Every structure is written in structure tokens, then in C-alpha cells.
């Protein structure tokens, strides 16, 4: 197994935790053209796309064939979705001026799910490039 990709996975889990632990008062509302754009949801999508993608890369570099299966990828998606739900509960109870938002959980799930076709597309590009 690759130590670099394992460090990437651990860093992603930590990054998501740290960023979603910031108090809501740290974010100001913008009144410019992007004021109505759901930047918060985009951040959730990007964080969880990156988290799931890091797991897929780690599993792909593994010497264990069962980590390269569809089942393993499904488990990654389930983990990421449950992690997103858990983070919402954590925010509600432990992070000042942050709450429980179903829309954030949906953005987390969308990001994790988006990582799968992105990963597959990148893998196919690499395979075509090397042949």
C-alpha cells in the first residue's frame, strides 16, 4: 500500500473535520453577485469529492484486490455519506452558530458520488495514455 495515498486519506478526513468545525460566525455573508450562490454547498461538494477520491486512489494503489472491487467503492461512498451525516450532528451539538442542515448532507453525498465517475474517467484516461 502506498504511504503517500494513506497520508492523503488521513489528511482529507482531518481537513473535512477541521473546516466543518469552524464556527458559523467565521463566515460572512457576501452581497456581491455571488451572494445568492450556494458557496457553502459547493464547499461541501468539493470536500467530499476530494475525500472519496482520495480513498479510491488509496484502494487502487493497494496490493489487495478486494479493495479494487465495486463493493469496496460502494463502502467508500457509504462511509463518506455517513461521515457527512455525523459531521452535521457534530456541528449541531458542538460547533457554535452551526446547525444541522439536510442540504449540507445532500451536498456531501453528491460530492462523494461525483468522485466515482471522476475517478473512473481519470483511470480510463491514464490507461489510454499508457497504451
Q: Please give the Cα distance from 48 to 90 (Å, whole number).
A: 16
Q: What is the pLDDT of residue 25?
A: 60
Q: What is the pLDDT of residue 125?
A: 86
The grid cell for 94 is 458542538
Q: Which residues of the chain have pLDDT under 50?
A: none
Helices (H) and strands (E) in the chain, counts: 4, 0
* Domain count along the chain: 1
Which residue is listed with cell 474517467? 121
Q: What is the pLDDT of residue 2?
A: 78
- Residue-range definition of the domain harbouring residue 104: 3-24+37-130
Q: Is residue 32 in some structural domain? A: no
Q: Please give the Cα distance from 76 to 110 (Å, whole number).
A: 13
Q: Is residue 107 in some structural domain? A: yes
pTM of the model: 0.88
Are 129 and 67 in contact by the 8 Å Cβ rule? The answer is no
Q: What is the pLDDT of residue 27?
A: 56
Q: Please give the Cα distance from 14 to 92 (Å, whole number).
A: 19
Q: What is the pLDDT of residue 23?
A: 85
Q: Is residue 30 in some structural domain? A: no
Amino acid at each position: 500500500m502506498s504511504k503517500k495515498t494513506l497520508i492523503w486519506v488521513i489528511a482529507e478526513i482531518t481537513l473535512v473535520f477541521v473546516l466543518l468545525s469552524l464556527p458559523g460566525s467565521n463566515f460572512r455573508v457576501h452581497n456581491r453577485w455571488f451572494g445568492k450562490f450556494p458557496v457553502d454547498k459547493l464547499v461541501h461538494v468539493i470536500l467530499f469529492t476530494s475525500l472519496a477520491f482520495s480513498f479510491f486512489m488509496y484502494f487502487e494503489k493497494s496490493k489487495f484486490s478486494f479493495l479494487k472491487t465495486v463493493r469496496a467503492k460502494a463502502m467508500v461512498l457509504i462511509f463518506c455519506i455517513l461521515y457527512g451525516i455525523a459531521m452535521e450532528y457534530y456541528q449541531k451539538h458542538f460547533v457554535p452558530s452551526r446547525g444541522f442542515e439536510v442540504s449540507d448532507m445532500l451536498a456531501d453525498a453528491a460530492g462523494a458520488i461525483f468522485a466515482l465517475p471522476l475517478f473512473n474517467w481519470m483511470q480510463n484516461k491514464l490507461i489510454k495514455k499508457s497504451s
